[in-house]
Structure 1
Amino acid sequence: MAASTESATQNGPNGAPSAEDLKVFELSQKYTAEAAKRFRPEGLGQFVRLRESSSERFRALAEDPWADHAALNAAPPVPDGAERKFLILGAGYGGLLFAARLIDAGLAVAGPDDLLLVDAAGGFGGTWWWNRYPGLRCDVESYVYMPLLEETGYVPKNKYVSGNELREHACRIAAQWKLEDRALFRSTVKAMRWDDAAQRWTAEITEGRGPGNPSRELKVHARYVLTASGILTNPQIPKIPGLDSFAGPVFHTARWDYKVTGGTPEDGTLTGLEGKRVGIIGTGATAIQVVPRLAEYAKELYVFQRTPSAVSWRGQRPTDPEEWKTKIATKKGWQRERMLNFDSYVTDAAEEGQENLVADGWTEMPAYSAVLGSPRHPIVEPTPEKIAEHVGRLYKLDVAHSEAMRARVENIVKDAETAAKLKAWYPTWCKRPTFSDEYLQAFNQPNVHLVDTDGKGVESATQSGLVVAGKEYPLDILVLSTGYVTPSIGGGSPAARTGIEVYGRGGKSLDDKWQQHGAATLHGVCSNGFPNLFFAPLSQAGQAANNVFTLDVGAEHVVHIIEKAEARARAEAGLGGGGGGAVVEVTSAAEEAWSLEIMKRAAWFTSVMGCTPGYITSEGEALRQPQDQAERAKKARAGPWTQGMASFLKVLQEYRADGSLQGFEVVPAGLAN
């Protein structure tokens, strides 16, 4: 990275680098040095999923603390061998969008026997079901993040709503589309197998029944399977020597334990922390929200930091009913328009004079386009000169913002030494941006102590605390704000990401296909050899800072494909307007052509090569360049569309306007081989 940025500084007046170029070069050197401190050869191996921990104590932390097992056990069970037209894996916002769009299109009818959502949680909401930590709010404006606001008519209470309100909105969607009795909760799908003869999928499911009750094994058959299991689904913890020996209470932020802290998800009065020494490991987007709440009640709070987060302003405020009616929800299609407006700012695509509808900290960082792409810029040629030019441009685009974030720390944090350690030395795009008007301020409180590990992480744990650089910090309670397994695991394979074994035609494994050949899809939503299986878009699709925008665009596209396929199947079978189904499968030629489109754009993401290890870089594993050319090609195939979500949406709209389902083979159900 440093070499690429250096070469980009050689074109100043009279052959001398400009002051801006020199600044970029200096920053790139600093960023490279800070990133180097944090690289670990084990990469993702330095963490373990809660459910896969060798410690029974930590495996237990993965259990659902919120499920009402008595109510769920009293509900009529989904019978073993049940037949459904649609099986949706996930009951968060992605699964709910799939279900709502299918119902609105008339593909799934009212009643419980046409559609089934399966989720490991005890209710609707996805990440908003699991996460109930104090201070929890969405970091994207609620008016663009909360799905189906236009359809439900709901008005969010604040610009950034609480986790409780987001979970309630999931239930609101489920109620409006009559999904409450069309969900199987506390259930994990172990495997899915395509039956060529029956032309359907069989899902092998384990349904939990709560403490003291044996789990239940069942199979569900479905014509179509849609996977929407999210990107924040598998909490992880670091492999800290001795962590299991810590004698005090310990829990992950994704499974908050109010029995320890006091309070409830609705009432963040954490009286259980009074008089206690509390430690929290992690300083990412979750910790930014949690720390101020812990600081309010703990006798002493120790924040263990490997890498500081860049923390921008939040600007929270209640929704003004008059503004809502006259400036926000003013016409049909307002929410999609606002999503696109927001997206244009984070993809460096806002037009001069364009009104900034969201106008928050996100919209001040056009350099975040480094990981989202931008329609403003052409495809980056994979030559050293063009890559250096591209990376240098992004660094220049980022200088003002990243410098402002470091200055913000200095202006807020009173202790100079603490302030210096809280400054983020990486480009804006390397970690999820964070926003708070309370986090940095918390370090001015006498009971809050930053324990900076200089990139090394916590050294070890004892019965009574954590050890950093040979010094033990005694603790009574430990909170693990250590994030989730990256969704790019397994090269972005939808099977690896969800932990489900998926077997398509002839028993072919989806993971094996990804491992052998790399990602292979059309538009990121389907893959040859796996008929009637659709994914929420990730690899080979457009991505947005607002994940619900990504999910809605994907649901819209998948529903179009199924709708057109069924119409064609009915016509070919002579069934007119009713009956029948379809077996729809993308061709190898179509997915290879799309994969080549992704590959030729892959050089855009060379900007991440200077990033510190973390979630976006798979703890540094994404930064390792394979020597083998075939492996490099596989890696290039796994990336997203690099010209931004608006560009990707336009590609999909043009494809749908053609109406021919080009690249798909469609056979009426009952006639396919």
Structure 2
Amino acid sequence: MTNATATETVDAVVLGAGVAGLYQLHQLREQGLTVRGFDAASDVGGTWWWNRYPGARFDSESYVYQYLFDESLYKDWSWSERFPGQPEIERWMHYVTDRLDLRKDIRFDTRITAAHYDEDRGRWTVHTDRGDVVDTQFFVSCAGMLSAPLKNIEGTDDFSGELVFSSSYPAEGLDLAGKRVAVVGVGATGIQIIQTIAPDVGHLTVFARGPQYVLPMKNPSYGPQEQEAYKARFDEVKATLPHTFSGMEFEWEHTWEGTSPERRDEILEEIYQDGSLKLWLASFGEMFFVEEISEYVSEFVRNKMRERLNHDPHLVETLVPTDYGFGTHRVPLETNYLEVYLRDNVDLVNVRDNPIAQIREAGIELADGTLHEFDVIILATGFDAGTGALTRIDIRGRNGRSLTDDWGRDIRTTMGLAKHGYPNLLTTAVPLAPSAALCNMTTCLQQQTEWISDAIRDLKADGKTTMEPTAEGEDAWVSHHDEVANATLVANTTSWYLGSNVPGKPRRVLSYIGGVGTYRQKCDEEAAAGYPAFRRE
């Protein structure tokens, strides 16, 4: 395929037109490079284009989920609330795209199917499903951490009603009024859907396997006064976010040791009432390392959940986690989600020990043969996180080695920015970089795309054409990543954080969890030292 006649020759191909892809395209163009972006969606937005399901919204505060490289770009957009919904987020991404005039360099409704590296020429040949054959020096992936949906339930084509995956929910929506509706999955997406549609459907049945700790969201509206207040803090936000643990504005404020039991409870209650992710990311950091502290904080959250479920035994058993600690999974924010299960038109089915066997023509059949009949089925069944977006593409590096095969054996990268054996393949939001887990995505993606842009600029300034991680450099980063991850309780939890939701996927904590600020510092040190973990030729 590398010998195919090119239909276009560019300096860089950028995969994806979401938060990372748009900024990456902008930065590389600013260097004077010719860049072509590709996205399978029909317009910009990335996750905010695909995820149009009812209730989709931020769980990072709107004023921190923003680009910080341009003060006027930041201040000329006004958010309507603390945690806006998908339609407003999509409008914001259109605003950014049009402001930076990015659309002209992106091909939409176009999926990259293959990318092969030619060692003789030091260039990539990129193929698309529309017949494009693009010859490029750099192949930059901004495909996203959670962009490869899992579709692992049998019989989805057999259902006689309407069946949709949350990741491809129709833009025009579904008419759910008066209908029998099933939602499969109670992760962050399922929670948003369930709490939103419950009042509108005839009857809702939720199929739950893995229970989630949840925190109530407080989502005030923003008028001119609130908008002016957060915009006035631009310099502070820009200076703070890149260096905090989570890439959000708050930081760990308390230590367990030396704090009285009474004061600990007061602190937990105060932060809980904030209605944000602060309890997870800025309360007591020791809960990630010490079992007893994890259990104490977990029990605090469990008690909150039990109270809201009226201590109903079935609901508590199905929805309140007991086999892992608070914060070792992604913690969803919600609005009256638990109260949904107290409604007369809502049923909850625990499929932990009696799993879904398959979809039948009439509905969902469980392993014990029970058949639940529906008019509509909504599947919120998760993603092949971190690796899935790229392993579904035929990516081949030196000597024809396959990225799908390499990551099928062991998930390894160098800082989540590159992979040994694949020169000039540069990546964002892939394993071993901060992304999705314990990270405000815009903060992390801005840092990663800026590092990539600077690395390309430095490469050209030094008169070199290729950069590739050395085996030793990759070994060192993997060792550091694992040392950090394995010191925490996160490494002991069965979740998508470790790829546990994908059968056969190698186990490794997928995201770097040593802190956004620490990661930035290590990336900056790598660049300042002349990229010692890379071979540059």
Q: Please indicate the TM-score interval, normalised by the length of the shorter structure.
A: 0.7 to 0.9
Partner Cα separation in structure 2 for residue 126 and residue 419 of structure 1: 35
**Is 1:534 paired with 2:455?**
no
Do the aligned residues in 2 keep the contact of 1:347 with 1:368 (CA within 8 Å)?
Answer: no
Partner Cα separation in structure 1 for residue 372 and residue 419 of structure 2: 51
**Is 1:408 paired with 2:307?**
no
* Residue 602 to residue 411, structure 1, CA distance change in 2 (3 Å): closer
Q: Which residue of 1 aligns with 2:263?
A: none
Q: Which residue of 2 aligns with 1:554?
A: 448
The alignment partner of 1:319 has SS state of: coil
Pairwise CA distance, 1:643: 2.2
Partner Cα separation in structure 2 for residue 547 and residue 334 of structure 1: 15
Q: 1:563-615 CA deviation, whole Å, 9 max, x = no partner?
A: 1111111xxxxxxxxxxx73333334433333343344453256432x3x442
Pairwise CA distance, 1:116: 0.8
The alignment partner of 2:138 has SS state of: strand
* Residue 124 to residue 593, structure 1, CA distance change in 2 (3 Å): same
Do the aligned residues in 1 keep the contact of 2:484 with 2:513 (CA within 8 Å)?
Answer: yes
Q: 1:218-260 CA deviation, whole Å, 9 max, x = no partner?
A: 20111211111112222223424x5543321111112224667
Given the alignment, which residue of 32, 35, 54 partners 1:108? 32
Given the alignment, which residue of 220, 224, 239 partners 1:321? 224
Partner Cα separation in structure 2 for residue 473 and residue 594 of structure 1: 49
Q: Which residue of 1 aligns with 2:515?
A: 644
Question: Any gaps of 5 or more consecutive residues in structure 1?
Answer: 1-78, 208-216, 262-271, 378-389, 570-580, 625-633, 668-673
* Residue 222 to residue 487, structure 1, CA distance change in 2 (3 Å): same
The alignment partner of 2:466 has SS state of: strand
Q: Which residue of 2 aligns with 1:81?
A: 7
Question: Counting helix residues as a fraction of each chain, which structure ranks higher?
Answer: 1
Pairwise CA distance, 1:320: 4.5
Do the aligned residues in 1 keep the contact of 2:432 with 2:478 (CA within 8 Å)?
Answer: yes
Q: How does 1:452-531 map to 2 (within 5 A)?
A: 452-468=350-366, 469-488=368-387, 495-496=390-391, 499-514=392-407, 518-531=410-423
Q: Which residue of 2 aligns with 1:583?
A: 466
Pairwise CA distance, 1:460: 4.2
Do the aligned residues in 2 keep the contact of 1:343 with 1:645 (CA within 8 Å)?
Answer: yes
Partner Cα separation in structure 2 for residue 250 and residue 234 of structure 1: 18
Q: How does 1:44-63 map to 2 (within 5 A)?
A: none
Deviates more, 1:458-467 or 1:220-229: 458-467
Q: Which residue of 2 aligns with 1:394?
A: 290
Pairwise CA distance, 1:196: 3.1
Given the alignment, which residue of 82, 106, 118 partners 1:183? 106
The alignment partner of 2:497 has SS state of: coil
Pairwise CA distance, 1:481: 1.6
Partner Cα separation in structure 1 for residue 314 and residue 299 of structure 2: 17
* Residue 475 to residue 519, structure 1, CA distance change in 2 (3 Å): closer
Do the aligned residues in 2 keep the contact of 1:279 with 1:304 (CA within 8 Å)?
Answer: yes
Pairwise CA distance, 1:366: 4.7
| Identity across matched positions, percent | 23
Pairwise CA distance, 1:184: 1.1
Q: 1:604-627 CA deviation, whole Å, 9 max, x = no partner?
A: 256432x3x442232367999xxx
Partner Cα separation in structure 2 for residue 485 and residue 520 of structure 1: 16
Partner Cα separation in structure 1 for residue 460 and residue 20 of structure 2: 23
Do the aligned residues in 1 keep the contact of 2:242 with 2:516 (CA within 8 Å)?
Answer: no
- Number of aligned residues: 512
* Residue 447 to residue 177, structure 1, CA distance change in 2 (3 Å): same
Pairwise CA distance, 1:206: 1.1
Do the aligned residues in 2 keep the contact of 1:328 with 1:334 (CA within 8 Å)?
Answer: no
Do the aligned residues in 2 keep the contact of 1:346 with 1:545 (CA within 8 Å)?
Answer: no
Pairwise CA distance, 1:126: 0.9
Question: Any gaps of 5 or more consecutive residues in structure 2?
Answer: 260-266
Pairwise CA distance, 1:124: 0.6
Partner Cα separation in structure 1 for residue 315 and residue 483 of structure 2: 42
Q: Which residue of 2 aligns with 1:126?
A: 46
Q: 1:393-418 CA deviation, whole Å, 9 max, x = no partner?
A: 43333234322332223322347234
Deviates more, 1:275-284 or 1:649-658: 649-658
Partner Cα separation in structure 1 for residue 248 and residue 104 of structure 2: 40
* Residue 475 to residue 622, structure 1, CA distance change in 2 (3 Å): closer
Do the aligned residues in 2 keep the contact of 1:305 with 1:457 (CA within 8 Å)?
Answer: no
**Is 1:429 paired with 2:357?**
no
Pairwise CA distance, 1:519: 4.7
Matched to 2:531, the amino acid is L
Partner Cα separation in structure 1 for residue 352 and residue 402 of structure 2: 42
* Residue 455 to residue 551, structure 1, CA distance change in 2 (3 Å): farther
Matched to 2:330, the amino acid is R
